[in-house]
């Protein structure tokens, strides 16, 4: 993150970082779900090719 994005007050950056981490954690769950689905599709296609 750019230092200029954070205000000078010590309270706001902490809040921004916490909300940013929560946002990333939510997105990470969605990304993991997508990766699992894609992996399953990949395995199904591989089995279809092998069979």
1-51 residue pLDDT tens? 445 554 554 555 667 778 887 888 888 888 888 888 888 888 888 888 776
Q: What is the pLDDT of residue 7?
A: 53
Q: How far is CA 28 from the centre of its chain?
A: 3
What separation in angstroms does the CA of 39 have from each of 27, 35, 45, 46? 18, 6, 10, 10
Q: What is the pLDDT of residue 13?
A: 61
Domain coordinates in residue numbering, the chain: 25-51
Q: What is the pLDDT of residue 32?
A: 82
Q: What is the pLDDT of residue 41?
A: 84
pTM of the model: 0.36
Q: What is the pLDDT of residue 26?
A: 87
Compute the half-sphere exposure of residue 27: CA atoms within 13 Å on the CB side of its CA. Answer: 6
Vertex 7 angle, CA 4 and 12, to 5°? 135
């Amino acid at each position: 993150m750019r230092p200029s994005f954070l205000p000078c007050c010590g309270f706001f950056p902490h809040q921004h970082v916490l909300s940013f981490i929560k946002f990333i954690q939510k997105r990470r769950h969605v990304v993991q779900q997508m990766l699992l689905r894609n992996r399953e599709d990949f395995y199904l296609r591989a089995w279809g090719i092998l069979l």
